[in-house]
Structure 1
Amino acid sequence: MAWVYILQCADGSFYTGMTRGEEPDQRLSEHQMKLSAGAYTASRLPVRLVYSEYFELVADAIFAERKIKGWSRAKKEALIKGDWALVQRLSSRRRGKPRAQS
């Protein structure tokens, strides 16, 4: 079992991570306590948990984490809001621009 989660940092940026076995709230506490020296979030505290998703298979969670890390801010915000229609619309764009019409 594994979780993919998104934290919103004090500077407004997003951090996407994955945890095996631990629930996202536990990882949030670890980020808040700066347990990962040099971590992206350590200099951007406080952070808050804005999204999490459970996966039965660790491999699926790893795939989802990598995919989300490559997304634009707008697409991450749509995911956080649960706006799947917007996630799909943003997925059909290239570099933030609408695809050329044929």
Structure 2
Amino acid sequence: MPYTYIVRCADDSYYVGSTWDLEGRVWQHNSPDLGAAYTRRRQPVTLAWSCWYDSIEEAFLFEKRVQGWSRKKREALIRGDFEALPDLSRRAAVQRRMADGGGFEAQA
């Protein structure tokens, strides 16, 4: 069964991947020579989030999407806070403007 997953590394960073064998892949990330170079330097890693898909193509596409997300957005996904995801997609300037009063003001 194909999965997209996020592991939390020992340095508190995140690594996003996709795989057919979730348990085996997390084990590889914790091995001295089989995991990704990024996780080999940041062991141990623990599984923070995963989701299965009908095809490896879907899992890979979601992996690539999540790799582009901010830390805050990844953490919302891990928490299951799906309502927060759209707001976290907005640029930082838009987020600040929304927090300061919400929205756009008409210019004279």
Q: Distance in 2 between matches of 1:18 and 1:83?
A: 21
In the TM superposition, residue 38 of structure 1 has moved relative to its aligned partner by: 5.9
For structure 2, list consecutive stretches of 5 or more residues without a partner in the other structure: 96-102
Structure 1 runs, 4 residues or longer, greater than 3 Å off: none
Gaps of 5+ in 1: none
Counterparts of 1:80 and 1:29 in 2: how far apart (Å)? 20
**Bigger Rg, which one:** 2
Cα distance, 1:88 vs structure 2? 1.8
Q: Please give the alpha-carbon distance, in whole angstroms, between the structure 2 residues aligned to 1:50 and 1:37.
A: 16
Aligned length: 98
Distance 1:8 1:38 in 2: 13
Cα RMSD of the aligned pairs, angstroms, is 1.7
2: distance between equivalents of 1:56 and 1:31?
24
For residue 36 of structure 1, what is the aligned residue in structure 2? 34
CA-to-aligned-CA distance 1:51-85 (integer Å, 9 cap, x gap): 00101111111110000000000000000000001
When you count strand as a share of all residues, which structure comes out higher? 1
